[in-house]
Amino acid sequence: MEQIFSSDRAIVTGGSRGIGWAVAKELVDRGAQVLLVARNSERLRQRAEELNRRRPGHVQWFSCDMANQPMSAEAAVQHALKTIGQPTLLLNAAGGASIASVLDAPWSLWVGDFQVKFFGYLAMARAVVPCMLQQRKGVIVNIVGIAGKDPNPNLAIASAVNGALNGVMKVLADEVSQHGVRVVNVNPSATETDLLGSMAQSTAQKSGQPVEAVLKAMRMRSPLGRLPTAGDIAGVVLFLMSRQADFVTGTGIDVDAGIHRGMF
């Protein structure tokens, strides 16, 4: 496999499962040094050991609560500096999408989801950008979500969080582009990960439908007749992190099989 990231050092949040894990595996296989960041220390340790068996010495891990910002982000970047060196790549992929409407979601859920995803992504970007500016290179990719463009009544908090991330990351891209740093959002639809099962169960409880019926409806909504896998999303992320995408910044890439019906 071509070692196109052999000179890169990547931080991957949400790196123990789902899209983050899929991206981390691909980065390691292509030569990158990777720091996995997530909350569950035992799962992180196992994931790091698995990847180090494939590429000895290429993976470190750091456990933290992404709701505890900006301290967790600053600590993660400091750990990266001590273990893999100055980061050149950041994937923000921590946090999920709570099934809740505007009025039904308790205030604590609104605050908690914003803390983990919006402030978690923003804090990681702010913590890592000085390293990238010093090197005059770097790529930040944020796993945002299509609800930021198509507000969903069942994903009220995610719609708000993702919309806010679209705005702030565009502004950040404008600030750092002249210094050789790129910032890109990726907007998946619902994706075939373990989180999808949790989302389907929550929807089923609210609607009274069987879980399998909910999953079937989600999949059939896609013009391609299926939902993306974590690997589908990872392929797009790796392209955006590569030199082939050197002219892509300050925008969002939809990976949703055409579910989003708008022109923009």
Domain layout of the chain by residue ranges: 9-191+229-247, 192-227
* pLDDT, mean of residues 123-140: 98
Structure tokens at 163: 């919309």
The pLDDT, as a whole number, for residue 263 is: 62
SS3 161: helix
Give the separation between CA 192 and CA 135, rounded to whole angstroms: 36
CATH number for region 9-191+229-247: 3.40.50.720
206 pLDDT exceeds 80? no
The pLDDT, as a whole number, for residue 53 is: 97
Can the peptide bond before residue 70 be classed as cis, meaning omega within 30 degrees of 0? yes
* CB 185, CB 253: distance < 8 Å: yes
| DSSP sequence for 191-211 | -BSHHHHHHHHHHHHHH---H
- What Rg do the C-alpha atoms of the chain give, in angstroms? 18
Q: Write the pLDDT tens digit of every residue in 137-186.
A: 999 999 999 989 989 898 999 999 999 999 999 999 999 999 999 999 99
Which residue has 């910032």 as its token pair? 183
Q: Longest C-alpha distance within the chain, in Å?
A: 54
43 or 257, which is more confident? Answer: 43
Structure tokens at 94: 């921590």
The residue type at 21: W
Give the separation between CA 176 and CA 144, rounded to whole angstroms: 20
Structure tokens at 112: 């908690």
Give the separation between CA 113 and CA 157, rounded to whole angstroms: 7
Quote the mean pLDDT of the chain. Answer: 93
242 or 259, which is more confident? Answer: 242
Q: Where are the beta strands (DSSP E) in the chain?
A: 9-13, 33-38, 59-63, 89-92, 138-143, 181-188, 251-255
Q: Write the pLDDT tens digit of every residue in 53-62.
A: 999 999 999 9
